[in-house]
Structure 1
Amino acid sequence: MSYEIFYHDEKVTEINPVVSGKAPDFSLVDQNGEKIQLSSLTKPVLISVFPNINTRVCSLQTKHFNVEASKHFEIDFLSISNNTAEEQKNWCAAEGVDMTLLADDGTFGKAYGLIMPDGPLAGRLARSVFVVKNGELIYHEILKNISQEPNYAAALSATLG
């Protein structure tokens, strides 16, 4: 299924993400240099995806899920962006965020079909949220407008349900 992506109400690209079935496995480095592999996590996983931690909406999204992560230890929260692990570590230190941020080297974006191929954000990840339980994608939200926040309540409900 194809999704049109808009930036400031102007269509900038289309993507064809994986939105159901078996969740593609991935292994990425977090902001502390540790490798995290999806298939090794045993709890339900909420994956928050965004293009750049140093922008307003990406920052808001990450801070919101950080608050939820501090309340829901029965869920593994992963935030994934195009930023380097060092950029993520610096952002976490500056913002007081203590959750797992993963630096996508392109493997996650390709596996999930989330790399925007053209437009002003070419090469960046499309804003989205996924929930994985027992290796299966049970929830997804691909944000049509890259500058909008996701439906936090729906993602959390799917994870807890």
Structure 2
Amino acid sequence: MTKITLKGNPINTVGKLPKVGKKAPKFNLIKSDLSKAKLKDFKGSKLILNIFPSLDTGTCAASVRRFNKEAGNLENTKVLCISRDLPFAQARFCGAEGLDNVITLSDFAKGKFGKAYGVTIKDGPLANLHSRAIVIINEEGEVTYTQQVPEIVDEPNYEDALKAL
């Protein structure tokens, strides 16, 4: 369990982020076209997992916009924006914003990704959504960097995440 806050009020996640130096947990998420996306589908690319509660919040939307901007300059790197939003909402948001450098993936169906990565919020008003976190995975599927944002309304430290690539 990880203790974080929501506007200063304590909340908890169900676990901890994967350990740096270990293999990333497998996942099975849903793309905007309702097809499945698995970790192994991205083998050979560096991955930035931009994990957040919902695109319907300003901070989450800002993180997707920022990573979309950065993704255009990253070599052999894919940015996966992961939430429990419905795939339709993710596609609508990216379409309306003209964001095409990121890949949105949904954990709406069973929430297994959130549990495997330790980001499912356990209590409080955002219970069952994901916390705000960054996980970077190298070409071999190993976790090389993690960042659990301690205050959920704050943006991640983009500079540290990008340096970790």
The TM-score, its normalising length taken from structure 1, stands at 0.92
CA–CA separation in structure 1 for the residues paired with 2:153 and 2:125? 13
Amino acid at match of 1:138: T
Q: Which residue of 2 aligns with 1:7?
A: 6
Find 1:65's aligned residue among 55, 64, 67.
67
Unmatched segments (≥5 aa) in structure 1: none
Mean Cα displacement is larger for which, 10-19 or 24-33?
A: 10-19
Q: Which residue of 2 aligns with 1:101?
A: 104
The number of equivalent residue pairs is 158
CA–CA separation in structure 2 for the residues paired with 1:30 and 1:64? 20
Q: Once the 2 structures are TM-superposed, how far is the Cα of residue 14 of structure 1 from its aligned partner?
A: 4.2
Deviations, residues 93-148 of structure 1 (Å, cap 9, x unaligned): 11111120001131210111111111111001010000011111110000110000
Native 8 Å contact 1:5 1:15 kept in 2: no
CA–CA separation in structure 1 for the residues paired with 2:78 and 2:48? 6
Native 8 Å contact 2:12 2:122 kept in 1: yes
CA–CA separation in structure 2 for the residues paired with 1:75 and 1:89? 20
Aligned counterparts, 1:5-154, within 5 A: 5-20=4-19, 21-41=22-42, 42-98=44-100, 99-104=102-107, 105=109, 106-133=111-138, 134-154=140-160
Query: Secondary structure of the equivalent of 1:88?
Result: helix
CA–CA separation in structure 2 for the residues paired with 1:40 and 1:14? 27
Q: Once the 2 structures are TM-superposed, how far is the Cα of residue 35 of structure 1 from its aligned partner?
A: 2.2
Structure 1 segments (4+ residues) deviating >3 Å? none
Query: Secondary structure of the equivalent of 1:79?
Result: strand
Mean Cα displacement is larger for which, 84-93 or 33-42?
A: 33-42
Mean Cα displacement is larger for which, 11-20 or 120-129?
A: 11-20
CA–CA separation in structure 1 for the residues paired with 2:151 and 2:83? 17
CA–CA separation in structure 2 for the residues paired with 1:12 and 1:140? 19
Query: Secondary structure of the equivalent of 2:37?
Result: strand
Mean Cα displacement is larger for which, 82-91 or 21-30?
A: 21-30
